[in-house]
Structure 1
Amino acid sequence: MASAPQPTLPLFYNDLMPLNSRDHATWKSRPIDKIEWLKNQHAVPLTVEEFAQAQRDFPIIFSAGDQPVPLALMGLNEGVNTFIDDEGKPIGEFYLPAYVRRYPFLLAKLTPQAEELSLCFDPTCDAIGDLAEGDPLFDEGGQPGAPVKAALEFCEQFEQAGAKTQAFMEEIKKHDLLMDGEIAITRNDDPDKPYVYRGFGMIDQEKLRALDPATVKEWNENGLLPLIYAHMFSLDRMRVIFSRQIEQDKLPAQVLQTAG
């Protein structure tokens, strides 16, 4: 069994291997009861289709750099996740981004020249393998079982949502609406020493208000404008995440922080 060539592995994935009925005929999958790979991640990629749900729990920001992507902030500091405990268990109820739910599966090209995407998985995940118990990945005839069918359907939907997200970002960049974000948050017991977070992108509201009426009308009709508002409204959640870090004793030393 050979791993698919991956010069740069996506977030969470330690390796990628193509799934096939020859090498994995007897393999099974079991439910994931811990999300250990998420506990030290403070930002998770988000698709635009998730904005409406995600904004209720997380600040939605954009990564810095030439190719920004939407991110759900689960903590304001590197290595801090206020929604997952040290054992990988969820803290309370919250929306779990599709990027997390997709793991350990992923659609990927097996070669740079390949036109089609193949279903791959991370072989280091202990929820899939030649297990004694679990749901078979393939039936006796080598046909995909329920776990493979479900994973393939979910990954295909995720790819479609990813394409919509890319189109959204291209439109935002086209109108130069992103600006460098900054937020200062103070503790109630020390109001004179704010924690300043930078290193993320956000919508420039002045440029948004200056958009021409035709563009605003088009964006309102195609659903892009509500996505922008969801992002803007969600930024208030940064103070909530900050409070969660205080409650969980996960607030680092008071220095300039990078949120994205």
Structure 2
Amino acid sequence: MASAPQNPALPLFYKDLIPLNSQQHANWKTRATDKATWLVGVNSVPLTVEEFPQAQRNFPIIFTAGPDPIPLVLMGMNEGVNVFVDEDGIVNTPIYIPAYARRYPFMLAKLRNDADELSLCVDPTSDLVGEIEEGEALFNEEGQPSDTTTNMLKFCENFEMAGTKTANFMAELQKHKLLMDGELNIDLGNGQPPFNYRGFQMVDENKLREVRGDVLRTWNQNGMLPLIYAHLFSLDLVRDIFGRQAGQGKVPNMPVNG
């Protein structure tokens, strides 16, 4: 149903990635857009724990399968389907856009595997950056980063910090063995077999009830417990996502008159 971003070379959305510098990109600009073309056909997007409260209002929050799970929002129930973004990239419903998607085409990345330092990079294939006529300059006349670039750098830095908090959250879930293989079933009540979705993880509510009181108290104090319940409550939105997808005619093997 959902998979972690394919990352043998580049993260989800990015077709190329280069570090910004004032020599090569002195005349580059970045422009705003009302279209999220990079979200077209993407059914799951990485999420940080800080975003759970907002995201759970619009999407189911799940965790990837495998030994190093990360949180994802589901924007469609099947690969290649995003029920909130039209084919031309227009977001068709007021929704929360995850920070992972909002930072595009920028991101912080290591220039060398043996270095810890992160540099502000950009996807040069995006039409939102480059030597374009209209937009905000990335560097000023002195070759210093513009306010636009500085603000984007800060946004990306905050995203990286949120990523660290997310990793800690996931480590705590795994430490207490709270994750289980997930399964979501949609029964249309028409006598046809239900639609089954697997290939992800979710919190095991039975194991959550067995967590020691002192641990739960700590989770309540540090804000982790509300995040767990935000995830669990968000799963009720699966039927809404499925309904949208069915209404758009994008559910595989859906009976024509079903």
TM bracket (short chain): over 0.9
Amino acid at match of 2:68: Q
2:4 maps to which residue? none
Q: Which digits, 9 at most, give the CA deviation of each residue in 1:11-34, with x for residues without a partner?
A: 000111000101000111111232
1:167 maps to which residue? 168
Q: Superposition pairs for residues 3-14 of structure 1, below 5 Å?
A: 8-14=9-15
Unaligned 5+ segments in structure 1 are 1-5, 255-260
Structure 1 residue 76 corresponds to structure 2 residue 109: no
Q: State the Cα distance separating 1:109 from its structure 2 match.
A: 0.8
SS at match of 1:158: helix
Q: Which digits, 9 at most, give the CA deviation of each residue in 1:166-221, with x for residues without a partner?
A: 00000000001000011110225x24321011111000011100011111111111
Unaligned 5+ segments in structure 2 are 1-6
1:213 maps to which residue? 213
Q: Aligned partners of 1:163, 1:142: CA distance in 2, in Å?
A: 32
Q: Aligned partners of 2:41, 2:191: CA distance in 1, in Å?
A: 28
Q: Aligned partners of 1:104, 1:215: CA distance in 2, in Å?
A: 40
2:135 maps to which residue? 134
Structure 1 residue 196 corresponds to structure 2 residue 166: no
> Structure 2 vs 1, CA of residues 43 and 7 (structure 1 numbering), >3 Å: closer, same or farther?
closer
Q: Which digits, 9 at most, give the CA deviation of each residue in 1:123-160, with x for residues without a partner?
A: 00011001122111111000111221111010000001
Amino acid at match of 2:218: E
Q: Aligned partners of 1:224, 1:40: CA distance in 2, in Å?
A: 32
SS at match of 2:157: helix
Q: State the Cα distance separating 1:253 from its structure 2 match.
A: 1.7
In the superposition, the TM-score normalised over structure 1's length comes to 0.93
Structure 1 residue 157 corresponds to structure 2 residue 158: yes
2:32 maps to which residue? 31
In the superposition, the TM-score normalised over structure 2's length comes to 0.94
Q: How much identity, in percent, do the aligned residues show?
A: 57
Structure 1 residue 50 corresponds to structure 2 residue 83: no
Q: Superposition pairs for residues 229-244 of structure 1, below 5 Å?
A: 229-244=229-244
SS at match of 2:156: helix
1:95 maps to which residue? 96
Amino acid at match of 1:51: F
Amino acid at match of 2:195: Y
Amino acid at match of 1:31: A
Amino acid at match of 1:41: V
1:118 maps to which residue? 119
2:179 maps to which residue? 178
Q: Which digits, 9 at most, give the CA deviation of each residue in 1:42-63, with x for residues without a partner?
A: 0000000000000000000000
Q: Tell me how large the CA RMSD over aligned residues is.
A: 1.4
Amino acid at match of 1:122: D
Q: Aligned partners of 2:222, 2:120: CA distance in 1, in Å?
A: 31
Give the number of equivalent residue pairs: 249
> Structure 2 vs 1, CA of residues 142 and 247 (structure 1 numbering), >3 Å: closer, same or farther?
same
Amino acid at match of 1:125: S
